[in-house]
Structure 1
Amino acid sequence: MLTAQALLAWTLMSIGLVLLPGPDTMLVAGHAARRGFRAGMAAIGGIQLGGLFYMALCGFGFLSVLNAVPGMFMTVKIAGALYLAWLGIGMLRGAIKPASGDTQSKVRLGGSPFSQGFISTVLNPKVAVFFLAALPQFVGTGPNAPWHGMLLIAIVYGIGFCWCVLLAALATHAGRKVGQSSVMRWFEGALGAAFLGLAGRLALARNA
């Protein structure tokens, strides 16, 4: 049974988790800075849909399949790492090559902001492993555990939504300031390098 103390502890832990730099924050900041607030919000929408995906897995009891099925974690991990690396390489190419009329089509190479937000969330098995490891400590194993788990996951993504909206607004303002200057290209290059770093970290992650 969830208590007020447990909800407070989970909320504080969720705030720390959300504030840690990861694919979500970088996707939102990158799209908002380069393409405006609406693009940032589209990425947020995809991330939130990914959160609903994990809530559904928890509610139907499928979250543990990631650990239970041999090779499942490795398959999702490799797919997620390749996707993040693909996004990173695309950003680096956009930063290196001069801006041109077909820049927007190149930016869309990895999909729309919405699809990028959703796919990068779903293909990050460390998110599922975190929920799998942390949720039982708060919800127990009773008949209502899946529903309580869904509530706690919703708290994480609710906090994440507020943080990402603020981040999108700040990034949009910053993007308007620098426009299409070399500063923006450096920013895009830094994001691309960061995505490649995240891809490498995910590829080396172990199923704990």
Structure 2
Amino acid sequence: MLTAHSLLAWTVMSIGLVLLPGPDTMLVAGHAARRGLRAGMAAIGGIQLGGLFYMALCGFGFLSVLNAVPGLFMAVKVAGAIYLAWLGLQMVRSALKPAPASEAPRMRIGGSPFMQGFVSTVLNPKVAIFFLAALPQFVGTGPDAPWQGMLLIAIVYALGFLWCALLAILATKAGRKVGQSSAMRWFEGAMGVGFFGLAGRLALARNV
């Protein structure tokens, strides 16, 4: 059963989770810096839709399937790692071959910012495993547990929206200052390498 104390504890834990660098923050910062605030917010929209996806899994009781079926966890994990590695490769290639100065800055890699945010969230089984491991400690196993779990997941993504929106604003301002300079190419290259690292971490992830 949820209490004020448990809600506070979950919120504090959620803040730590949101501030931990991951695909979400990298996608939002990358798109906002390269293409502006609108692209960054589009990526946030995709991430939020991914959050609704996990809320639906929790509400219908399917969240534990990833842990109960090792083959499914492995399939999602491999697909997610490949997708993140592909994004990283395209970012590095774009950094090595910058667009002409006459063209508008863009980072249309692996689909629109919205789709990238959604796919990278859905194909990250570590998110589902976190909810699977943490939620029972706060909501128990009663008949209201799925609804309470949905509420707690909503808190995570609400905090994530606030953090990513702030990040998008800051990244947009930074992107306007550096423009198409070599600093922007270095930034995009670093983002690509970061996605390679995230892909490796995801590939090595284990279910609980």
Please say if 1:205 is aligned against 2:193.
no
> In structure 2, what residue type is equivalent to 1:113?
P
| 2:126 match | 126
Report the CA distance between 1:103 and its aligned residue. 7.2
Q: Using the alignment, how far apart are the partners of 1:105 and 1:169 within structure 2?
A: 17
Q: Within 5 Å, which residues of 2 pair with 1:2-151?
A: 2-100=2-100, 107-151=107-151
Q: Which residue of 1 aligns with 2:168?
A: 168
Structure 2 unaligned segments of length 5 or more: list them: none
Q: Deviations over 1:145-204 (max 9, x none)?
A: 000000000000000000000000000000000000000000000000000000011011
Quote the Cα distance in structure 1 between the aligned partners of 2:70 and 2:31. 36
Alpha-carbon distance between aligned partners in 2 of 1:13 and 1:201, rounded to the nearest angstrom: 21
Residue 70 of structure 1 and its aligned partner are, at CA, apart by 3.3
Q: Which stretch of structure 1 is more off in the superposition, 132-141 or 106-115?
A: 106-115
Counterpart of 2:185 in structure 1 is: 185
1:109 Cα offset (Å): 3.3
User: Contact conserved, 2:60 with 2:146, CA < 8 A, in 1?
Assistant: yes
In structure 1, runs of 5+ residues without a counterpart are: none
Q: How many residues align?
A: 208
1:73-115 CA deviation, whole Å, 9 max, x = no partner? 1000000000000000000001011323897798323100000
Does structure 1 retain, via aligned residues, the 8 Å contact 2:95–2:189? yes
Q: CA RMSD, aligned part only?
A: 1.5
CA distance in 2, matches of 1:103, 1:20: 34
Between the aligned partners of 1:34 and 1:2, the Cα distance in structure 2 is 42
Q: 1:37 to 1:105 in 2, by over 3 A?
A: closer
Check conservation: 2:31, 2:107, Cα contact below 8 A.
no
TM-score (norm 1): 0.97
Distance 1:84 1:143, change over 3 A: same
Match for 1:60: what amino acid? F
| Structure 2: distance between partners of 1:102 and 1:79 | 36
Q: Is the 8 A contact 1:90 1:106 kept in 2?
A: no
1:100–1:52 distance in 2 versus 1, CA, 3 Å: same
Q: Using structure 2 for the length normalisation, give the TM-score.
A: 0.97
Structure-2 change in CA distance of 1:115 and 1:55 (3 Å): same
DSSP-derived class of the 2:207 partner: coil
- Separation in 2 of the partners of 1:73 and 1:102? 45
1:94–1:106 Cα contact (<8 Å) kept: no
